[in-house]
Structure 1
Amino acid sequence: MCGMWRTRSSVLILLFVALISLTCVILFYTASPNQLIKWLPAKSLSLGNSWARGIKLMKEYPELDSILQKADMGNKTVIITTLNYAWATPDSMIDLFLESFHTGEGTSRFLNNLVIVSLDQKAYNRCTSIHSHCFILKTKGIDFSGEKRFMTDDYLKMMWRRIEFLRAVLEMGYSFIFTDADIMWFRNPFDHLATDADFQIACDRYNGNPTDLNNAVNGGFNYVKSNDRTIQFYRYWYSSHKLYPGKHDQDVLNYIKHNEEIRKMGLSMRFLDTSYFGGFCEPRKDFTKICTMHANCCVGLKTKLHDLRLMLTDWKNFQSLAIQDRLLQEPLWRTPMQCKI
């Protein structure tokens, strides 16, 4: 009789716990329209309290998960760029950026995977009129709509806001290619990305060794896999800006990449060859190799626009050549031109 009473008590306790748990789930699910519950078991959220992190992400970035789902390549990978209204005005940076996808070799399909993150309302309004996947990333008390000159206070805030946002994307379980909007896409970059690296980043100058930490990194283009190591790394990267006031994310990364803390994370880092991921800092001449070209080592929107328009024209002229003519003559980039000044 006593054993039966214990059994019934145990059953009642289990039923009570199950009822309370179900009630909590229902209440939470009702308050979370983007179905945050499906994130909770994800490996990328295993750092810290996944439930609490999930709630925070939902509150800070409403609707983001649904946008990432639509842009997903099918393996929880997306392409992301960020811009403000100065770069989103008609016939400005965003138009050249999107044009490069259309004129590149097999790159137009990646537009379906591109999420344009707008840093102000006017940029978002323009984005929604020209592209399918747009997300607005507002920052309380700051208007990012105007041109932010390199290394000004608002420029630095914009760069660090970007790092903070990209960390959240990783925590949602999405890997990504991040690309600045002043990068032209001419070929499929995935063909030249390592499959065994956690974090791969472009270089201002490349010394020929993809694992050498002495390469000068450029934060305008990187491919990052979502896992515990990269989430921890992005948290460390973001928190490090307090140690280097007045420095932007790229400078800070160049400082911290040698740190023992990153080695202990087990992060696998690779540096991308400028023969394939080029830029104005170290322009390469071979049109047959180049995947992306960046208007780096160049300050000022008008200056960048001038040289990027020349670059697109040079690329189109190369494409117009017959195959045999491409072999007979060596095309040359006319850029950097104004960006040399």
Structure 2
Amino acid sequence: MKFDVELERVLSKASMKGKTVILTTLNDAWAEPGSVFDLFLESFQIGIETKKLLNNLVIISMDQKAHARCLAIHPHCYALTTEGLDSSTEAPFMSEDYLKMMWRRIEFLNTVLQMGYSFVFTDADIMWLRNPFPRFYPRVDFQIACDRYYGNPEDKNNRPNGGFTYVRSNPRTILFYRFWFMSRKTYPGKHDQDVLNKIKKDRVLEKIELTMRFLDTAYFGGFCERSKDFNKVCTMHANCCYGLGTKVHDLKIVLEDWKNYTSLPPNERASASPSWRAPQNCRT
């Protein structure tokens, strides 16, 4: 199978040992200075054990403007073109462009798996506050964050959020992503996350023997369900939140709260019990 030479070059340069990369997608609206992308990169700079992970982060730009911005400030950029898609403005949630972009992403991630790369996929509206790798389950094929987590990582009733996944490249995950992508035809007009909710209990996943775990919101939180313990939190996602300005406003508060916490002396950190001031505007 022939793969894009440029994609292989970018992935191999960014790869950590074990052929693993961190991936995010970026469009023009999120790439504007002072917007989501800048906050995303800042979180890596101020997170605990996260700065080094910037070396492994590949930005997948969905349009020329986003690609130009990436090239100006980050070493690993790849331009993904999607025919008939205008991502220069924020695609309204569930619009035709939004759905096209989401499904193009699933198709692209399957290509990455076929190239032998495992990945952490992260939306850019997720703040990386601690290195998440120690919190992943070893030897599991597919791990995903949740909007709602009910206490058991194997419970298929957990409500997954496609904005944060850790996927190991192997024949099972390649088949799974192919099945996920094909299922868009079974459930037309639905986005990848809704379709995942439909197929997560499907017998096909048992047949291919895919192992799946749902990540605890105590470590991988968001505005739907916050990580309450600052001493545990790895990521904070502006989920359950619509509109770019709203997200930016509340994510800035998340980073401020985090800076206040990390500026405490280590002995005070453990005993402090800070709480998040966000979401604020995302509630409305």
TM-score range, shorter chain: over 0.9
The answer to whether the aligner puts 1:125 opposite 2:68 as a matched pair is yes
CA shift for structure 1 position 118: 0.1
Q: What is residue 14 of structure 2 aligned with on the other side?
A: 71
The answer to whether the aligner puts 1:209 opposite 2:155 as a matched pair is no
Q: What is residue 133 of structure 2 aligned with on the other side?
A: 190
* Bigger helix share: 1
- Which one has the largest radius of gyration? 1
TM-score, normalisation: structure 1: 0.82
| Residue aligned with 2:59, SS | strand
CA shift for structure 1 position 74: 1.9
The answer to whether the aligner puts 1:163 opposite 2:106 as a matched pair is yes
Q: What is residue 83 of structure 1 aligned with on the other side?
A: 26
Q: What is residue 256 of structure 1 aligned with on the other side?
A: 199
Mapped partners of 1:134, 1:68: distance in 2: 9
| Residue aligned with 1:63, SS | helix
CA contact (8 A) 2:227 2:236 kept: no
CA shift for structure 1 position 149: 1.3
CA shift for structure 1 position 326: 2.5
The answer to whether the aligner puts 1:152 opposite 2:70 as a matched pair is no
Q: What is residue 116 of structure 2 aligned with on the other side?
A: 173
Q: Give 5+ residue unaligned stretches, structure 1.
A: 1-53
The answer to whether the aligner puts 1:309 opposite 2:260 as a matched pair is no
Mapped partners of 1:172, 1:329: distance in 2: 45
| Residue aligned with 2:60, SS | strand
The answer to whether the aligner puts 1:102 opposite 2:45 as a matched pair is yes
Mapped partners of 1:212, 1:141: distance in 2: 38
* Residue from 201, 208, 231 that aligns with 2:174: 231
1:259-292 Cα distance to aligned partner (Å, 9 max, x none)? 1111101000000000000000011221000000
Aligned length: 284
1:77-118 Cα distance to aligned partner (Å, 9 max, x none)? 000000101000111111000000000011000000000000
Cα RMSD (Å): 0.9
| Residue aligned with 1:82, SS | strand
Mapped partners of 1:114, 1:267: distance in 2: 26
Q: What is residue 267 of structure 1 aligned with on the other side?
A: 210
CA shift for structure 1 position 323: 2.6
CA shift for structure 1 position 172: 0.3
Mapped partners of 1:138, 1:149: distance in 2: 19
CA shift for structure 1 position 62: 4.2
What amino acid is aligned across from residue 37 of structure 2 in structure 1?
I
Q: What is residue 136 of structure 1 aligned with on the other side?
A: 79
Of the two structures, which has the highest relative contact order with CA contacts closer than 8 Å and spacing of 6 or more? 2
Mapped partners of 2:270, 2:161: distance in 1: 32
What amino acid is aligned across from residue 70 of structure 1 in structure 2?
K
Q: What is residue 282 of structure 1 aligned with on the other side?
A: 225
Of residues 203-212 and 139-148 in structure 1, the stretch that sits farther from structure 2 once superposed is: 139-148
Runs of 4+ aligned residues of structure 1 deviating over 6 Å after TM superposition are: none
User: Quick one: percent identity of the two aligned structures?
Assistant: 62
Distance 1:328 1:289, change over 3 A: closer
Mapped partners of 1:234, 1:328: distance in 2: 43
